[in-house]
Amino acid sequence: MDLKAETAEFLASRRARITPDEAGLPAYGGSKRRVPGLRREEVAMLAGVSVDYYTRLERGNLNGVSESVLEALAEALQLDEAERAHLFDLARAANASGVARSRARRASPASVRPAVQRILDSMESAPALVRNGRLDVLATNLTARALYSPMYDSPERIANKPVNSARFHFLDLDAAQQYWGDRWEKIAHDAVAILRAEAGKNPYDSALIALVGELSTRSEDFRRMWASHDVRLHRSGTKVFHHPVVGRLELAYEALELPADTGLQLNVYTAVPGSPSDDGLKLLTSWAATTPATTPAAPEPSAEVTRSRKDL
């Protein structure tokens, strides 16, 4: 991945979204400004650096940049937590040694430790999975495998490799849009933002470079979202699934880093007790226990679940 281009485009895109009024500056030139957002000299003034030095940074040259300058730049550009982390990741990558870059090119493990799999399996009623920064799903419990059955059954899944949620979102578009409903755009954009953040952490990851290249070639939607240079931290929230067997599921998720496995994240989903989604999740757990490795014929929903789904 072209680190200089990545840095230049990220800084320029963040500068373009801030108006002088939002930055507390007079809008010299008014509506006659040739480009949106702040000028380079305005960002330089806000960050307390020379125009020449900021211009150098925005051209992608972060070699030797100090932490204090990065902090000032993050404040001037009004970066959020994810964007600030991304800027610091880009700076670390720009100043990494040749040995560090060589190590970063190595592929991450394609499986999890047995102890981690046992943790997943112990959570029988809650879908749980482990993924890496490329959105490869490396391990699941039975309920998570059933929850994401459309992704596992997708014709875009590559044999003998971990299933990848970004490939499903963009390359099996009809199935993904049916699965996510009217939230597909947000889910897909979040996936791209996670990949973009990962590109800052590991710009020399050959598998990530290949994935982004394939998605850019095959998906206009991916190209559009990738060009926004948005980044995101995936920690907690709510997702709404339209599952082919149990219907609508509104599940809260928590994403937990695995300290002993750098770059891996444990995601766990839960439903509000007594809710229609809780009923659906119980049905999903029962379905998953019957035939875990394949997608079985859909069971008939219970009368209680059927009534709950009609009320949604």
Domain boundaries, the chain: 3-95, 114-310
pLDDT at 98: 59
Say how many C-beta atoms besides its own lie within 10 A of residue 33's C-beta: 14
Locate 102 and state its tokens: 């060589």
CA-based angle 247:232:123, to the nearest 5?
Answer: 45
pTM of the model: 0.88
pLDDT under 70 in the chain at which residues? 28-32, 97-110, 291-312
Q: Which of 209, 199, 212 is nearest to 87 (CA)?
A: 199
pLDDT number for residue 81: 96
C-alpha angle with apex 164: 94 to 91, nearest 5 degrees? 10
What is the DSSP secondary-structure string of 181-216?
GGGHHHHHHHHHHHHHHHHHH-TT-HHHHHHHHHHH
Exposure string for 198-223, b = 16+ CB within 10 A, e = fewer? bbbbbbbbebbeebbeebeeebebbe
DSSP H or E segment with residue 53: helix 51-58
- Amino acid 60: pLDDT: 95
**Which residue type is seen at 261?**
D
Query: What is the SS3 assignment for 241?
Result: strand
Given this model, what pLDDT does residue 109 score?
66
Q: How many other C-beta atoms lie within 10 A of the C-beta of residue 35?
A: 10
Q: Topology of domain 114-310, per CATH?
A: Beta-Lactamase (3.30.450)
Name 74's Cβ contacts closer than 8 Å, sequence gap at least 6.
83, 84, 87
Q: Which residues contact 99 (CB under 8 A, 6 or more apart)?
A: none
CATH superfamily placement of domain 3-95? lambda repressor-like DNA-binding domains (1.10.260.40)
